[in-house]
Amino acid sequence: MRFAEPIADATAPLARRNPTAKVVAAMLLTLCLAVSLDPVTPAVAIAVELAVLPLFGLHYRALLRRLWPLLLTSALASASYLFFGQKTGETVAAFGPLTVTTGTLDSALSLFLRLVAVALPSIAVFASTDPTDLADSLVQNARAKPRFVIGALAAFRLLPLLANDWEMLRLARRARGVDAGRNPLANVRLFASTLFALLVIAVRRGTRLATAMDARGFDSGRPRSAARTQRFGPADATLIAASGMVGAVAIATSVYAGTFAPLLS
Amino acid sequence: MRGVDLRIERGEHVLLLGPSGAGKSTLLAALGGLHAEDSGEQEGTIAVDGAPPRHRAATAMLFQDPEAQIVMARTGDDVAFGLENIGVPAAEIWPRVVAAMRAVGFPYGREHRTDALSGGEQQRLALAGAIAAGPDLLLLDEPTANLDPASAAVVRESVGRALAESDATLVLVEHRVADWLPLIDRVVVLTAGGGVIADGPPVVVFGTRGEELAAAGVWVPGLPGGSTRSLADVIVPRPPASHPAGDLLLAGEGLGFTHPGASRPALSTVDIEVRANRALAVTGPSGSGKSTLALLLGGLLAPTQGSVRATRRLAGASDAEKPPHRWRAPKLATRIGSVFQNPEHQFLTGRVRHELALGPTGAGRTDADVMSTVDGLLSKLHLDHLADANPYTLSGGEQRRLSVATALAAAPTVLVLDEPTFGQDRRTWTELLLLLGRLRDEGCAVVTVTHDTDLVNALADATVVLDAGRALDTAVRT
């Protein structure tokens, strides 16, 4: 099993950008989207995001295949606003005590668009970035501490092993004569105890890996060198600037359209 | 570990021996400077090259578990990791990575994915990472205990090549001594709490104190150039001659299993019979489907091809129509016991005693009955002194004995074990062998998945050899 394999074509023009630059660009855009609560700001952002996805080496169809559960949950979360949001404006439809007004329609749509607009940049970044490159870049370009970044990278590699541990723990419980049958409460208890065992195993695996890393001189206080160089060039700075521009244009459009609704007012 | 006085000269190749729990790994970790100042109680002093060993760049270590040593996603990056840590300039890193990978005979390039490697390949990669920095002290903690014999031989050869190219000092902890002897020029034997009890060249130590060491749990090899008989014949009495084959208990017909999403079956069209009074060994290289077969016979996985059938003798009247994987767990545990490769997957409670009581209590036996079963198993497997310990705190050998004991506590008629002798000292190995032999003679069926040819020779009445998910050969001993 491979975890979070980059699914993008790594040679695409924006996929090749510096990983830290990609992360900062995504964060910047997300920040702009948090400024306003209206639907126009995220709608403009989504339009631009969808337009540049191919430059990150991503194909719409492959992306949709992976992301439909996320879209569905965003839609469901937003739908709750339809019925339970603040009932302002005219009533559009009524189902007994549940009424949908133009106000709730507006806030549900805004929420859905914002979730999608925030998710897309992060997905573009992580789908087009190798975890090792990201870690290297965070250490070399963002001066992050190797102790945390490389440590997290190594821990990340253990995740597929945990999937196998989970399966073995489940089977071993059955072998020991423990099952829950059809009793839902017993099922929850068994799940919780298996989860706890997984936690214990995960800690032990992590400790062994940490010892092995320690034995190889990791975090020994000596200055670390870098086997792989990550460069931060003008194109990377441009990506960050462009992302800020997209955010600014989205907000400006919303102000011009008269829909701007500041988060803090 | 306490009271150890030891002086190792530069360039010596030392084998550290001793029974389970003698503190061999503890000593090795201390030499590697891995004990933080605040962990555990310390007495005395330790110095490597005249200084405390913490953070010494010229010490390299290799551990038992290959999976817990790989840090990076690509092979070359993993070897480079140690060089980065000690600040080797970038321009020098890659030539040294390539040289280290060549020195251990690593079969792939530096862009290969580490999660696609077998255990033996991972261990060779870890060795390349260890020697890349050009260490003058190499500490190896049971580097082949988790590997099949073929992979273990390749790793040993890699260590030999690495040692031949340098004048590094070697300190090795390993239970299976015979295979490593060509690389060793000094043997040091520790006892639990008693310090060093023997020290000298292998021929002298094994020649003069062989019997005594064997009794203490050390694997004593037939001396170099002497007997060519297998280890088991030399030191372990064979269990009593086999009984006639008993009733059929379990039968797998056209058995196969494909993991969800996998392109190739893990196991395919295997026919197998499990009979009372018989010990069946399942052997084959890593990845041949042995463990999958054990899970299918253990009633833990549902076959995706063929079927597992239990006879009325095993299943009773009520469940004879149902395949074992559909039995309720408490019933399953009293009929087919499974011992997993990793004992830690099997522990459910916080105490050894509770661990043993779980199975029989679940089967609805009386308290007095459960108590006597638990006490009997504790003494039979020499776990009495650990009755109130937490299973996770036991040593590897003790955990293995406990996991076998937990399966036995439910008194199953069929016992399925996956690599029960991995990394065991001689005493545990012998006890397990005798215990399994006794169970077989008392009317149980014992199915052992194993790489251990000594165990197969000493115990198995029949052997199934698997390769790439298919049964190559079934041999019945006459």
Judging contacts by C-beta atoms under 8 Å, the chain A residues touching residue B132 are none
Cα B351 to Cα A111, B345, B347: the distances in Å are 51, 15, 9
Is residue B240 one of the residues assigned to a domain?
no
Q: Mean pLDDT across the stretch B431-437?
A: 86
pLDDT in tens, A199-215: 999 998 899 899 899 88
Distance from CA of B367 to the nearest CA of A (A): 17
Residue of B nearest to A168 (CA): B345
Burial of B411 (0-12, 13-18, 19+ CB in 10 A): middle
Is the pLDDT confidence value at B224 over 50?
no
pLDDT at B43: 76
pLDDT at B219: 72
For residue A99, report the phi and psi dihedrals to the nearest 5 degrees. Answer: -120, 145
Is residue B374 one of the residues assigned to a domain?
yes
Q: Are residues A49 and A158 in the same domain?
A: no
Is residue A225 one of the residues assigned to a domain?
no
Is residue B3 one of the residues assigned to a domain?
no
As a whole-number percent, the residues of chain B with pLDDT over 70 amount to 92
Domain with residue B204: its CATH number is: 3.40.50.300
Q: Are residues B50 and B147 in the same domain?
A: yes
Find tokens 């030539």 and name the residue.
B95
pLDDT at B38: 60
Highest mean pLDDT among A100-109, B157-166, B331-340: B331-340
Q: Are residues B402 and B313 in the same domain?
A: yes
User: What pTM value is reported for the model?
Assistant: 0.82
Is residue B8 one of the residues assigned to a domain?
no
Q: Are residues A173 and A201 in the same domain?
A: yes
Q: For chains A and B, what is the number of CB pairs under 8 angstroms?
A: 161
pLDDT at B243: 60
pLDDT at B36: 65
Pick the residue of A162, A193, A225 with the most B CBs within 10 A to test the interface with B by mutation: A225
Q: Mean pLDDT across the stretch A112-129?
A: 90
Counting the structural domains of chain B, the total is 2
- Measured between alpha carbons, how far is B175 from B20 in angstroms, rounded to an integer? 9
Q: Are residues B253 and B351 in the same domain?
A: yes
pLDDT in tens, A161-213: 888 899 999 999 999 988 888 889 999 999 999 999 999 999 988 998 998 99
Dihedral of CA B324/B327/B332/B334: which sign? negative
Supply B432's token pair: 């397990």
Which of the residue ranges A233-247, B57-71, B211-225, B381-395 would you say has the lowest mean pLDDT?
A: B211-225
Judging contacts by C-beta atoms under 8 Å, the chain A residues touching residue B60 are 215-216
| Sequence letter at residue B264 | R
Q: Are residues B413 and B344 in the same domain?
A: yes
Which of B200, B228, B256 terminates a domain? The answer is B228
Is residue A158 one of the residues assigned to a domain?
yes
Cβ atoms within 10 Å of B50's Cβ, excluding its own: 5
Is residue A4 one of the residues assigned to a domain?
no
Q: Are residues A243 and A201 in the same domain?
A: no
| Sequence letter at residue B175 | H
Q: Are residues B332 and B287 in the same domain?
A: yes
Binned at pLDDT 50, 70 and 90, residue B362 comes out as: confident
Binned at pLDDT 50, 70 and 90, residue A77 comes out as: confident
Whether the Cβ atoms of residue B429 and residue B381 lie closer than 8 Å to each other: no
Going by their DSSP bridges, the two strands B137-141 and B169-173 should be labelled as: parallel
Sheet of B462-467: strands edge to edge? Answer: B336-339, B414-418, B445-449, B278-283, B462-467, B470-476
As a whole-number percent, the residues of chain B with pLDDT over 90 amount to 34
Is residue A184 one of the residues assigned to a domain?
yes
The stretches of B86-168 forming alpha helices (DSSP H) are 90-103, 119-131, 149-164
Residue partners of B390: CB distance under 8 A and separation at least 6:
B350, B351, B352
Question: Which residues span the domain enclosing A168?
Answer: 137-215
Cα B171 to Cα B32, B49, B168, B297, B320: the distances in Å are 10, 14, 10, 41, 55
Q: Are residues B36 and B144 in the same domain?
A: yes
Counting the structural domains of chain A, the total is 2
pLDDT in tens, B6-45: 888 888 999 998 876 677 888 888 888 887 666 667 777 8
Is the pLDDT confidence value at B254 over 80?
yes
Question: Which residues span the domain enclosing B122?
Answer: 13-228
Is residue B253 one of the residues assigned to a domain?
yes
Its ipTM equals: 0.84
pLDDT at B235: 42
Q: Are residues A39 and A94 in the same domain?
A: yes
Which of the residue ranges A13-27, B292-306, B314-328, B461-475 would you say has the lowest mean pLDDT?
A: B461-475
Judging contacts by C-beta atoms under 8 Å, the chain B residues touching residue A160 are 115
